[in-house]
Structure 1
């Protein structure tokens, strides 16, 4: 009897874990409107966001003014952050379109190279950020998902973690100026 329970548990485990699997970028193939990062992130955008800790408490609110431009397969996203406490921050992303919806990117506070991929209306972006906290710098991982809602609005949800432990989330809305 004990052996049968162990065997049943061993056989059921992959199916239980598959139910817990996170979404894949391929899940969004065919979703409309189709996201072309080179078209959407071109021009001036405004963004509005919050950072919430793992309990869901809003820790920081911020706005971002983005000046974006592409030259062929290379793009620059110049971001100016203003936080609710009055502090400011700048990040300049240098993106490269690698073909077939794949992108790479670098920025001054990004460790190594970020990689992402678009399918349908979604973009998944993964990177490690060097984040200053209380006089120290923590390397934290971001699993960043963006969803194009229409030609002007895109929603963004990013999970921040360290050593696989979820630290919080960034929720952001982008609005492209006309």
Structure 2
């Protein structure tokens, strides 16, 4: 009996540690259509918080988005609160079953994503320049469609499984 109780306790503890999956949001509304949302102009306001939760960088992103068939381009122009600028151009491809892949010049290999309900989970490795060096960091990136114009984004950044910080964004689609 003791062994059964211990086994059940361990199973419950492991289940509590399980990460969410896109399918957890399959019934959520409104339904996210990436091709429709990321088509035209989108503006995002964001912050980067270090692992303690302190906001260490604020930024705005102006996005020009376009899809041709199942292939999309998201041209992102970043402006940081310190006046620095940056640019990333995502090249996305829609696959079957709500899956997406993406590439960008500062992304190592291919990003992989999955849409379900109002959520999109996106995983990739980014080349991040810091103080003259470039680090490869992993992003577990989640987007949640709130309504036809607003989407919230939360991305956890890590290296070797150690959480480095978090990026939070609020997207707003132009009319």
Q: Does 1:113 align with 2:103?
A: no
CA distance in 2, matches of 1:47, 1:146: 12
Match of 1:79 in 2: 76
* Equivalent position to 1:142, from 139, 143, 150: 139
SS for the counterpart of 1:173 is: strand
- Aligned residues between the structures: 175
SS for the counterpart of 1:100 is: helix
Higher Rg of the two aligned structures: 1
CA distance in 2, matches of 1:113, 1:77: 15
* Equivalent position to 2:40, from 30, 40, 43: 43
Mapping 1:7-46, distance limit 5 Å: 8-46=5-43
Identify unmatched segments of 5+ residues in structure 1: none
* Equivalent position to 1:166, from 157, 160, 163: 163
Match of 1:94 in 2: 91
Q: Pick which of 19-28 and 73-82 moved more.
A: 19-28
Identify unmatched segments of 5+ residues in structure 2: none
CA distance in 1, matches of 2:7, 2:133: 44
CA distance in 2, matches of 1:14, 1:133: 41
For each residue in 1:76-132, what CA deviation from the matched residue of structure 2 results, as whole angstroms up to 9, or x when unmatched? 000000000000000000000012210000000000000000000000000000001
CA distance in 2, matches of 1:108, 1:9: 49
- Write out the 4+ residue segments of structure 1 that deviate beyond 4 Å after TM superposition: 4-8
TM-score of the two chains, using structure 1 as the length reference: 0.95
CA distance in 2, matches of 1:6, 1:132: 51
Q: Does 1:130 align with 2:127?
A: yes
